[in-house]
A and B are shown apart, each in its own frame.
Chain A
Amino acid sequence: MVLALARTWSGYRTAVRLGWLVSSNWTSPVPFVIYTIIRPISGALILVVMYNVITGGRGNTRNYLAFLVIGVSFWAFVTEGVSDFAVGILEDRGRFKMLKYAYLAPLRFPVFLVGRASSKLTSAVASVAIVLVVATVGLRLPINPLSVDYPLLAIACLLAFISVMAFSIALSVVLLAGRDAYGYGEIMAQVLYIVSGAIFPISVLPGPLAFFASLSPLVYWLELTRRSILHGRVYEMFPGLSDGEVLTRLALATAGTVLLGYLVYRWADRQARWKGYIDMDAAQ
């Protein structure tokens, strides 16, 4: 038992390191700068200009600007976790031909996947911090690190972390079935982007989509990150709900996501083994 645990732990560590090596390109700060700074900041800039064009940056609309900035910065969790992670798994298969070894290794495949995912999410935290700091200074957002509700933020992020991981692990195994599945991970992240209230309140969405969005844990997570950082000075999607109520919804939605993710994983894993997707050559 202890032995098995130790083996799992060392396997987990290997996978974290592997993920770090592969995704950080074992060389330089260049990829880090690209993925954690340039991309998210450019994305934020697009939104800031759109905001400015429409509102002219008037004071009474600034809580909407804060809404955008916090949403887009925390979104790094999801892009790293969902799209980059799923692509990473496919890269392992296609480019590095090592997925089958990970799969055959004594280390259990899920542990490998969770390890990879953790390394992704670590770099997401860095990205969030950088974008928030830049925005606070550059856009003079009233973010004060001393008045952030850190416990609330931490709990919300932990739950979101769990759902993102469940979602992306299931997704990556499903994507193994796709011949040219590169890009699907990104699409999924994009779809989530729309239905998670990252850059606009979900009430803007057409009716059925808005309902679907209200089932996603990410909506409540983002709402809580905004509240914990800028309580009262940020646009809120659920002004009628207390922090506790939003947190409850987040917990429920996370549980649902994990369950769903597990079922999908089981199914897709069986498919993958059955059809030999693990070592498939994805030549175009």
Chain B
Amino acid sequence: MKSSPSEFEIFWRTVLARAYPRVVGLSRNLSWLFFDFAFPLVGTFAMVFVYQGLHAPRQYLGFVVMGGGMLAFWQNVLWTMGTQFSWDRGNGTLELMAVSPTSFEAVLLGMAGGAMIMTTLRAVAIIVLGSLLFKVTYNLGGLPPAIGVFLLTLAALYGLGMLLASLFLYYSREAWHLGDAIQEPVNFLSGLYFPVHALGAYVGGAASLIPVTLGLDAMRQFLLPGTPRFLDPALETVIVALEIPLFAILAVSSLRFMEVRARREGKLISKWS
């Protein structure tokens, strides 16, 4: 008998393999590039202009530009992890992933990882372009802690993305609606366009469940002097770090649960339902 690969080997091979089409897709489909860059860029600039229309102090432009960078990651999580499952279901790819010995966690990680290159480029482009065009100045001394918080935020955010994707495993069209439904409210609650301080203790506190909220606020506090303080950035960092296992556990159990439900109700095999 041939030796069968370990679960770990299947896991990491799946991650790489699922990231692969995302990566080669970049070079084979240049139209994506345009789409990926244009969308968040335009959205971010719109908000900068609103502040200019309001004659806001310059540092507010910095808030928006950083929020735009974070928006790229949030959208990546929402749309490329979540809805991709819905696509894969439609053309039968999900079914083939499901019958193979791999896990959905690995597939999702690969999807997100592959898209990450693009998303990072996008976020960097927004921040660099926005900062140059609107003359934002940063406190570069805050860069190391900001990068640390950013990585923690990303980990928590991807857990959230996996949780959302588990819903797409079971629901299809309804899940698209869910994505559409939460996108704008999350943009609002997570303070992508203004410091979360403005939402007050209660709304802001509730919004802190979204990893982006506190992560972004801490990064702003580190990098942009004059950011109104919601919580101490160190405390914000700790909370974001705690959200990592929280979302990871939720995501994994939800994936398991949804897979069984999907098998029971024939949702893995039906196409567009």
A and B together in one complex: yes
| B54 close to chain A: CB less than 8 A | yes
How many residues in A have their beta carbons less than 8 Å from beta carbons of B? 42
| Contact between B39 and A190, CB atoms less than 8 A apart | yes
Of B35, B47, B56, B198, the residue contacting A187 (CB under 8 A) is B35
Residues of B within 8 A of A199 (CB): 46, 49-50, 53
Chain B contacts with A in 168-193, Cβ cutoff 8 A = 173-174, 177, 180-181, 183-185, 187-188, 193
Residues of A within 8 A of B47 (CB): 46, 50
Contacts A42-B187, A50-B193, A179-B29 given; does A95 touch B42 at CB 8 Å:
no
| Contact between B49 and A205, CB atoms less than 8 A apart | yes
| Interface residues as binary, A84-98 with B (CB distance below 8 Å gives 1, 0 otherwise) | 000000000001100
| Contact between A200 and B42, CB atoms less than 8 A apart | no
| Contact between A54 and B55, CB atoms less than 8 A apart | yes
| Contact between A25 and B173, CB atoms less than 8 A apart | yes
Count of inter-chain pairs, beta carbons less than 8 A: 105
| Contact between A42 and B185, CB atoms less than 8 A apart | yes
CB distance from B128 to the nearest CB of A (A): 18
Chain A contacts with B in 1-58, Cβ cutoff 8 A = 25, 30-31, 34-35, 38-39, 42-43, 45-47, 49-55
| B20 close to chain A: CB less than 8 A | no
CB distance from B110 to the nearest CB of A (A): 15
| Contact between A200 and B187, CB atoms less than 8 A apart | no
Residues of B within 8 A of A49 (CB): 188, 194, 198-199
Residues of A within 8 A of B42 (CB): 187, 190-191, 193-194
| Contact between A200 and B91, CB atoms less than 8 A apart | no
Complex-state Cα separation, A200 to B177, whole angstroms:
29
Complex-state Cα separation, A29 to B202, whole angstroms:
29
Residues of B within 8 A of A38 (CB): 181, 184-185
| Contact between A53 and B194, CB atoms less than 8 A apart | yes
| A242 close to chain B: CB less than 8 A | no
| A80 close to chain B: CB less than 8 A | no
| Contact between B54 and A55, CB atoms less than 8 A apart | yes
| Contact between A95 and B272, CB atoms less than 8 A apart | yes
Residue on A nearest B191 in the bound complex, by CB:
A49
| A183 close to chain B: CB less than 8 A | yes
| Contact between A194 and B49, CB atoms less than 8 A apart | yes
Contacts A178-B31, A194-B42 given; does A47 touch B50 at CB 8 Å:
yes
Complex-state Cα separation, A35 to B179, whole angstroms:
11
| Contact between B184 and A39, CB atoms less than 8 A apart | yes
Complex-state Cα separation, A193 to B50, whole angstroms:
11
| Contact between A200 and B50, CB atoms less than 8 A apart | yes
Residue on B nearest A84 in the bound complex, by CB:
B180
CB distance from B118 to the nearest CB of A (A): 13
| A217 close to chain B: CB less than 8 A | no
| A146 close to chain B: CB less than 8 A | no
| B51 close to chain A: CB less than 8 A | yes
Residues of B within 8 A of A30 (CB): 174, 177
Of B25, B60, B173, B181, the residue contacting A54 (CB under 8 A) is B60
| A284 close to chain B: CB less than 8 A | yes
| Contact between B51 and A42, CB atoms less than 8 A apart | no
> Interface residues, chain A, CB within 8 Å of chain B?
25, 30-31, 34-35, 38-39, 42-43, 45-47, 49-55, 64, 68, 95-96, 178-181, 183-184, 186-187, 190-191, 193-194, 199-201, 204-205, 283-284
Contacts A39-B180, A199-B53, A200-B49 supplied; 9 other A-B pairs, CB < 8 Å: A42-B184, A42-B185, A46-B188, A49-B188, A187-B39, A193-B42, A194-B46, A205-B49, A284-B25
> Interface residues, chain B, CB within 8 Å of chain A?
25, 29, 31-32, 35, 38-39, 42-43, 45-47, 49-56, 60, 87, 90-91, 173-174, 177, 180-181, 183-185, 187-188, 193-195, 198-199, 272
